[in-house]
Amino acid sequence: MTSDDSLELRRATSHDAMAVARVHIGSWRSAYRGIVPQEFLDSLSVPRRARTYTFDTPETDNHLTWIALDHDAVVGFVTVGKTQVAEGPPVGEVQALYVTPDRWRSGVGSELLRQGEELLAAGGHSAAVLWVLADNSRGRSFYEAQGWSASGEQQIVELGGSPLIEVRYQKSL
């Protein structure tokens, strides 16, 4: 846990959707400024994003989201689940990890990532992967400081009509 005793981690519910969406979009707009087209970032909608979350559905939908609360305010979240790997041991995936920009470098992200890793390990995963935009140097440095390493695998994603490179990171659990 961070040195802030007011931080609480718990599983997200449908009641958290709007607060999680505010963190999600606020993080994207700050972290991806200059990486993702600004027009795309400006078009993001908190209510539209909130409607996409399925926090109260059974884990069979391949993901689980936990939130970090500070004095009952959502300040970050992590979503984990199974990745689509054809062969080998079970591999989990950190599908999303976002913290409100005013809490970056406060330990919230580290706590959420640790929680996600523990959830994946408890689910029988021996290793985990995640994808991060290649130009997101802050995010890449964070993951590397947490013991993750770039696998060398890349993929192209399209955001706002622009092709962007994502780098795959991996970690044994």
Query: How does pLDDT run across 158-173, given as a tens digit for each residue?
Result: 999 999 999 999 999 9
pLDDT (tens digit per residue) in 95-128: 999 999 999 999 999 999 999 999 999 988 999 9
Supply the pLDDT for residue 85: 63
Say what the pTM is: 0.92
Q: Which tokens belong to 29?
A: 């707009």
DSSP 23-78: HHHHHHHHHTBTTB-HHHHHH--HHHHHTT--TTS-GGGS-EEEEEEETTEEEEEE
- Which domains can be identified in the chain, with CATH numbers? 7-125 (3.40.630.30)
Q: 1 falls in which pLDDT band (50, 70, 90)?
A: very low
**Quick check: 150 and 167 in contact, CB under 8 A?**
yes
